[in-house]
Chains A and B, each alone.
Chain A
Amino acid sequence: MSEAALRILLVDQNVTRASILEEGLREAGYTDVTVVRDMQNLLRRIVDADPDVICIDLENPNRDVLEQMFQVSRVDAGPVAMFVDKSDADMIKAAVESGVGAYVVDGLKKERVKAVVDMAVTRFKAFNDLRDELDRAKQALGERKVVERAKGILMKERGLTEDDAYALLRKAAMSDNKRVVDIAQAVITAAGLLR
């Protein structure tokens, strides 16, 4: 059986992340990939796409919509969910930590589908790490602006050089066991009050 025969459905409202995963899957030879971004009538769309495996981002409240498909697993022969036995525990952990939920619709293809889920986990994790890094960079930039403003206030009010103003902030931070940005924020707040 070729990889191309697997039908894969991605449910992700994050366009960039979905494209990264879609691209990876296509490169690996999976050609039948459907991406759903519009959550209206999600169940209907899934039924129409008739996938073998579904990957959904965990930030999506519609994950519960999807679970409806798996409520019947014992009495009637129907779709089964991924992770049906205890041996899947490590895989659930990896998936949840990377922020992806995976479901196998056809239990017989479970082994083949594992490669797809593994890729979803890896790509989601890479994307989320990148996003976290970006958030941190943005935060660092914001903090630098705060420190710059505080330095400016100290230079003006106390007639310090830029280096001395920073040294003063640092010294206060160290003696108060606080971060420089917190002291800088306090300086800005205080200056606002005294104005």
Chain B
Amino acid sequence: MKLVIGFIPLLDCASLVVAAERGFAAQEGLDLRLVRETSWANIRDRVIVGHFDAAHMLAPMTIASTLGIGHVKSPFIAPISLGLGGNAITVSLSLWEQMAQQGASAGDFTLAPAAALKRVIVARERAGIEPLTFGMVYPFSCHNYELRYWLAAAGIDPDRDVRLAVIPPPFLADALRVGQIDGFCVGEPWNSVAVDAGVGAIVTPTSALWPRSPEKVLGCRAEWAQRYPEPLEKLLRAIYRAAVWIEDPDNHGEIAKLLAEPGYVGCSAELLHGALKGRLALLPGAHPVPLEEFFVPARHSATFPWVSHAQWMYAQMVRWRQIELLPEYAAAARGTYRPDIYRAALAQLDVDIPRADTKPELFFDGRTFTPPP
């Protein structure tokens, strides 16, 4: 069966690319056609109108569509995660210098750099200087919520003390260079692209803010999943096997080369290789340093759609006033994640699948998100 899947050029489209290119989809009798898209809005719309059967999607986007925030209400599901982590927060070199003067140091992933940023912001405000602007990729994205969480943890109000602007990933390094923005939160390879171009400093990988945090999912319409349960299960198995293959360090070189092709991510294979290995240069010219569990494609049940992830995302939508807190919204957000479909699809593979649908989520500021029952 032919399946058309939309994707955005980012490191974490890897399991879709590998499923299509390395025979994991064919093994399930699927003919996977990957279509590169230019915006998340296009991805969502083309899934809604049926151009795509499923797509590489920002996890919160599936929930936003299900709830009908900002666009037409269209129930989506997220039956598999496309890996954990892979994002980082990067600032311009001039902002990094100011933060360093206030006590930030490279490779310190505690609250300290955010606290230093807070002091920079206070000083700027006193001097009557314009607020700083941070870029992120989409209003309903983990990048937006992670950046806001990081800022708020240090007492920075993301809606009052700074400006947040959506900028597509390929334009972020340039926006930083020309001073249109002072920092951003984005997935790889786009942080490394800014460091490599000599315009940015990576302050923290988001894997340090929230270890094993969600990022992209495979999203499809709930109606489509209901109509094609078998192809969907086959697709999940193909993605799962591809993710396990990506996890093997012996394959990293080959994946980096594959993703570097212009039809996929289209950037330097070396930067992609670094991100796969979890070794990033934090400052221009610096040696890459190992980052713990930076991007996890398969280990630690990385493909499992934890309902607690969906609950956290809905909590952020409420926290940042994108939607009200209502029991029916909370239930709909929860229901977007479908561990039941994941379990059914993987049952025949004899792999370890979590029995619980939720788990406590631990954050860098010592807080725990305990999923509401």
Chain A positions within 8 Å of B, measured between CB atoms, are: 40-41, 43, 58-68, 70-76, 81, 83-86, 88-89, 92-93, 96-97, 101
CB distance from A104 to the nearest CB of B (A): 12
Partner of B41, one of A40, A59, A63, A73: A63
Are B70's CB and A93's CB within 8 A?
A: no
Of all A-B residue pairs in the complex, the 3 with the closest CB atoms, nearest first, are A71-B139, A61-B168, A63-B39
What CA separation (Å) do A41 and B181 show in the bound complex? 10
Given A62-B168, A64-B166, A83-B72, CB of A74 within 8 Å of CB of B39: no
A75 and B72 alpha carbons, distance in the complex (Å): 17
CA distance in complex: A173, B139 (Å): 54
Q: Known interface pairs A61-B168, A67-B41. Does A73 touch B69 (Cβ–Cβ under 8 Å)?
A: yes
Contact flag A61-B39 (CB < 8 Å), given A43-B165, A71-B322, A92-B45: yes
What are 6 sample pairs from A and B whose C-beta atoms fall under 8 A apart? A40-B180, A63-B38, A64-B41, A71-B70, A71-B140, A85-B73
Give the residue among A61, A62, A86 with the most B Cβ atoms within 10 A: A61
For residue B124, CB closer than 8 A to chain A, the reply is: no
Which of B46, B69, B72, B137 is close to A88, meaning CB atoms less than 8 Å apart? B72
Interface of B (DSSP majority class): loop
What is the total number of residues of chain B having a CB less than 8 Å from a CB of chain A? 31
Q: How near does chain B come to A23, taking the closest CB pair, in angstroms? A: 26
CB of B357 within 8 A of chain A? no
Task: State whether A74 and B69 are in contact (beta carbons under 8 Å apart), knowing that A63-B39, A97-B49 are contacts in the complex.
Answer: yes
Within 8 A of A (CB), among B17-66: 38-42, 45-46, 48-49, 51
A89 touches which of B46, B72, B137, B170 (Cβ 8 Å):
B72
Smallest beta-carbon distance B13→chain A, Å:
15
Contacts of A73 in B (CB 8 A): 69-70
B56 smallest CB distance to A (angstroms)? 14
Whether B228 is near chain A, meaning CB under 8 Å from some CB there, is: no
| A70 and B321 form a contact (CB under 8 A) | no
Nearest neighbor of A58 in chain B, beta-carbon distance? B42
What B residues does A86 contact at CB under 8 A? 72-73
Which residues of A lie under 8 Å from residue B165 when comparing CB positions? 43, 65, 68
Question: Closest A-chain residue to B318, C-beta based?
Answer: A75
Q: How far is the CA of A85 from the CA of B137 in the complex (A)?
A: 25
Residue in A closest to B48 when the chains form the complex, CB atoms: A92
Residue pair A64, B49 in contact (C-beta under 8 Å): no
Chain B 67-80, CB within 8 Å of chain A: the 1/0 string?
01111110000000
Cα distance A64–B177 in the bound complex, in angstroms: 21
User: Whole-angstrom distance from the CB of A146 to the nearest CB of chain B?
Assistant: 24
- Cβ contact of B321, chosen from A67, A68, A76, cutoff 8 A: A76
Q: A61-B171, A65-B166 are in contact. Are A81 and B71 (CB under 8 A)?
A: yes
Checking B39, B46, B69, B72 against A64 with a beta-carbon cut-off of 8 angstroms, the contacting residue is B39
The reply to whether A84 and B72 contact each other, CB–CB distance below 8 Å, is yes
In the bound complex, how far is the Cα of B230 from the Cα of A26, in angstroms? Answer: 52
* A83 CB contacts on chain B under 8 angstroms: 71-72
Q: Contacts A61-B39, A65-B166, A68-B166 known; A96 to B72 CB distance under 8 Å? A: no
Check if B4 is an interface residue, CB within 8 A of chain A. no
Give the contacts of B84-100 with A (CB-CB under 8 A).
none
List 20 other contacts, CB 8 Å, given A64-B40, A67-B41, A81-B71. A40-B180, A63-B38, A64-B41, A64-B137, A64-B166, A64-B168, A67-B70, A67-B71, A70-B71, A71-B70, A73-B70, A74-B322, A84-B73, A86-B72, A88-B72, A92-B45, A92-B48, A96-B51, A101-B41, A101-B45
